[in-house]
Amino acid sequence: MATLAETLADPSRPSFLFGLTPPLEGASDEETLQHAEKFMNKSRSLAVDGYIVYDIQDEEGRTEMARPFPFRKLGDPAAFATVLERVSGGRASVVYKCVAESDKASFNEWLSHAVEKSKNMCFNFVGGATHSKEYKGPTIPDAADLLTKQLKGHFGGVTIAERHEKKGNEHETLLKKQSLGAEWFITQAIYDQQPTIKLINDYGKLCKERNVKPVKIILTFAPCGREKTMNFIKWLGVRVPEWVEQRIFSEDATPAKTPLNKSPVERSVDILCDMCEDILEQTKDSGVPLGVSVESVSIFKNEVEAAHELFRRCQHIALDFFKRPWRVNVELIDDKNRKTNDAKKKTNVAKTTEGGVLGENSTRNINPLITTLAAVVGLLVGRLAKP
């Protein structure tokens, strides 16, 4: 089976990631394990290539807007990614890390431990939240040099389409980071597809002009069903057009094709699926390979469940866009790292669904036993089959 780094570097098929955060700082080993198991119990039916574990910072000074939710420091993303990989039966993570928040020696020690001891190999390096503050940590080029040349790991970066719309040079920034060894880019959450479409097309054009092979860009989406969640999304720097916000929260602004009994979070899922499809269509000639990531920025049940539904639907859209047969394989995973072995009594359960993912249009084809056993089931997106 391909590693996560190999999957992210493979232009022949989209990559699929799901984002989450570590438990609070100070959590015990048992609490950290429970956090990972709770996540897996809810998301085990998602056919992911891997996960994203975010490094959440206070980001003081990044905006004049008041932070909608109080900042609470979270645990080490690399340590949690290791636990998550064990609990998920071998699913690796892209570990986010802000390089600016600790001094250079501390960062180098952290990164060396994350690779050599925790066995993480994929990282997304993030700089400081604002240019108005002087940071004590290493630069992204310094971090990239240590990871790729000494530790033999892999890294990618964040790309922000709103920045491209404002300054017009984000595509050049991508090429600069690519020259440092960046093997993929992950977007900020998207609520306006037009800046992302322009960025991808400009990046693809620039790569052709300079005879450089573009790397994969992972499109990130996050559902929203509460105004406070929306305020947090906007606080993060995501541009949300007024019409989008109105369609989510105002039934009067909902188009006729959308049932009025849909909740705000369901309407947000519909909107984001439309945006995902539009981005794929409008950038199909760019030459830039794409993938999909979904994150939940909320602890509320309906928004968490909506993130799972959004992932399934966007995955279906991305795979169908290839207009080639595809499949999702279901297999049992090794249960030796879990606390109980009750589910291991039921074995030899495997099924392949052709032309669909768990979720819309295909759930009926899945043996309920597989869903029941999902705590020990790993889902793999198979390589796109040739017709």
- With the C-alpha atoms ordered 190, 191, 193, 195, is the resulting torsion angle positive or negative? negative
Give Cβ neighbours of residue 310 (< 8 Å, ≥ 6 apart): 221, 223, 269, 272, 273, 294
CATH code where residue 235 lies? 3.20.20.220
From the number of C-beta atoms within 10 Å of its C-beta (0-12, 13-18, 19+), residue 30 rates as exposed
Which residue stretches of the chain are H helix? 4-9, 29-43, 77-87, 104-116, 140-145, 161-167, 170-179, 193-209, 227-235, 242-249, 264-282, 301-320, 368-372
Q: Which helix (H) or strand (E) holds 122?
A: strand 122-126
Q: Is residue 371 part of a domain?
A: no
Which pTM value belongs to this model?
0.84
Q: How many domains does the chain contain in total?
A: 1
Q: Is residue 370 part of a domain?
A: no
Amino acid at 159: T
DSSP codes of every residue in 339-382? S--GGGGS----EEEES--SSTTTGGGS-HHHHHTGGGEEEEEP
Q: Is residue 249 part of a domain?
A: yes
Q: Is residue 145 part of a domain?
A: yes
Closest CA to 24 of 270, 241, 285, 299: 299
Neighbours of 329 (CB within 10 A): 14
Q: Is residue 353 part of a domain?
A: no
Domain membership of residue 132 as a residue range: 4-325
Q: Is residue 365 part of a domain?
A: no
Q: Is residue 139 part of a domain?
A: yes
Q: Is residue 104 part of a domain?
A: yes
Per-residue pLDDT of the chain (387 residues; tens, 9 = 90+): 799 999 999 999 999 999 999 999 999 999 999 999 999 999 989 999 999 999 977 556 556 667 666 668 899 999 999 999 999 999 999 999 999 878 999 999 999 999 999 999 999 999 865 555 667 779 999 999 999 999 999 999 999 999 898 888 999 999 999 999 999 999 999 999 999 999 999 999 999 999 999 999 999 999 999 999 999 899 888 999 999 999 999 866 555 455 557 999 999 999 999 999 999 999 999 999 999 999 987 889 999 999 999 999 999 999 999 888 888 877 777 665 554 434 433 333 233 333 333 333 333 232 222 222 222 223 333 334 333
